[in-house]
Amino acid sequence: MTDDIASAPATPEALTAAPGYQIRRLSQAYLAVWGRAVDPVLTGPQFAVLTAVRAAPGRDQRSMASAVALDTSTMADVARRLEGRGLIVRQTAADDGRRKLLFLTEEGERTLHEANRRARELDERLLEPFDPALRAYLMHLLTSLADHWEALAETLPTPAENLLCP
């Protein structure tokens, strides 16, 4: 295996110069570190949902999806998994049987508390090379980039749509 790594070709500049490639590298590295440092079972999206439910208990699943940047089908899957693990309770809204209201269980509260502590420690380790001013600027840049890319995802035409429009 070491020989395979040593003989691997250099990453082409066309990739290293692409923001999407660097974002994917960061994402993959973060997922690997998350599993080791925070929780090998609780995923980032699950953590985000638990955090949002704690902040706004009793809100419906659809609004929670929006709050944590998940599509509604992914949110439904995440909520089912969290409910299956006993971390949340989904209650049907009295005024609309299609809406599911989300609440943390005691086990969900304990799990989130411990995961949040480890996640904040991980944040510190990830950002330790940067002084506080640079950390704030980096977070500003990352947030701006995420906002911009989310907007593009909603407005950019697909290749098929481009073919239809001369």
- The whole-number pLDDT of residue 86 equals 98
Each residue's pLDDT tens digit, 97-117: 889 999 999 999 999 999 999
- The whole-number pLDDT of residue 159 equals 80
CB neighbour class for 99 (10 Å; exposed up to 12, middle 13-18, buried from 19):
middle
In angstroms, the Cα distances linking 143 to 34, 107, 117, 139 are 20, 31, 22, 6
Greatest extent of the chain over all pairs of C-alpha atoms, in Å? 63
- The whole-number pLDDT of residue 154 equals 84
Q: What's the number of CA atoms in the CB half-sphere (13 Å) around residue 8?
A: 8
What is the distance between the alpha carbons of residues 61 and 101, in angstroms, rounded to a whole number? 6
Each residue's pLDDT tens digit, 7-52: 788 999 999 999 999 999 999 999 999 999 999 999 999 999 999 9
Spell out the CATH class of 11-128.
mainly alpha
Average pLDDT, the chain: 92
- The whole-number pLDDT of residue 95 equals 92
Q: Which residue has the higher pLDDT, 50 or 153?
A: 50
Determine contact, residues 75/62, Cβ cutoff 8 Å. Answer: yes
The terminus-to-terminus CA distance of the chain in angstroms comes to 50
How many helices and strands, by DSSP H and E, does the chain display?
9, 2
> What are the domain boundaries of the chain?
11-128, 131-166
